[in-house]
Structure 1
Amino acid sequence: MQIRNSSDWRDALPFELAVPAAEAVPGEPTRCAGCGPASEPWPREGLWVVKHKHPNNPAGFVRYYCADHKPKAKLAPPVAAAKAPRARAERAPRAERVAAPKVPERVAALCPDCFVEVPPSGVCGMCGTRVG
């Protein structure tokens, strides 16, 4: 199953970063996802919008959070110093690549009646004519 997306206000939100709900999408009071469905709705000025990643939907999903339940921003892991390039003197010499031998392509034989390419057997697959 492939999920199709439609374009709306959620496309402009960054993943895993809290944005004030009043700025993202003004509207009616909404419940916080952390407080639960039995809680009272919050005004949009008191809520945060977070777009989370979803394993099956590349557009993700959006949740509203109050200040008490707002998740921390997830940052990318820092680049390790071990990945820094080594000096040229430390690098091992590269082995020379040997070019693959060039094999000439087989000349394509065409059937004079059907004008289709004939396989290496020399017999046309459409009409059965032997092409030499």
Structure 2
Amino acid sequence: MKIVAGADWRDGLPFEAPVLVSEVIPGEPTRCFTCGTDSALRERTELWAVKHRHPKQHAGFVRFYCAEHKPAPPARPQVTPDVRPASRAPRAARAERSSTPARRAAAAEERPKALCPNCFVEVPPSGVCGMCGERVD
């Protein structure tokens, strides 16, 4: 049985990006979160829905804001090119080190596995079956 959260209109909203409320859910006029419950009702075409992250709820939570209190959309991260000095010595040494264990692993895999004829389990390098105690050569 798989337990999942219910699907609703809030799941489709991106985090921290303002979206017009009238575009995501129809309904009656409502209030801006920042203006408070004493403020006048506003049409949904005048309000912005913003989905915020929550430390304990992975789906986050949504609040409505008027144009005056609408949070700014998140800034795009600046991508800086990674500038490293050109050096072939570390790359060559790294390639040399990585090829040696691969050869050892391939050599270990080539050896056939010894199986106990009674239990059909792999026998350790000692040659004695761990299940029945029979010696396998």
TM-score interval for Structure 1 and Structure 2 normalised by the shorter chain: 0.7 to 0.9
CA distance in 2, matches of 1:40, 1:120: 82
* Per-residue deviation, 1:72: 0.9
| Alignment pair present for 1:126 and 2:131 | yes
Query: Where in structure 1 are there 5+ consecutive unaligned residues?
Result: none
Q: Secondary structure at the match of 2:131?
A: coil
The answer for the alignment partner of 1:75 in structure 2 is 75
Identity %: 53
CA distance in structure 1 between the partners assigned to 2:38 and 2:132 by the alignment = 76
Aligned pair count? Answer: 125
Q: What is the DSSP-based 3-state SS (H/G/I as helix, E as strand, rest coil) of the residue aligned with 1:72?
A: coil
Please list every run of 5 or more consecutive structure 2 residues that lacks an aligned counterpart in the other structure: none
Q: Deviations over 1:27-76 (max 9, x none)?
A: 23333221234545433232110112334444332111122221111111
Rounded Cα–Cα distance in structure 2 between residues aligned with 1:94 and 1:61: 52
In 2, Cα distance between equivalents of 1:121 and 1:39:
82
In 2, the alpha carbon distance for the partners of 1:4 and 1:54 equals 18
Cα RMSD of the aligned pairs, angstroms, is 2.7
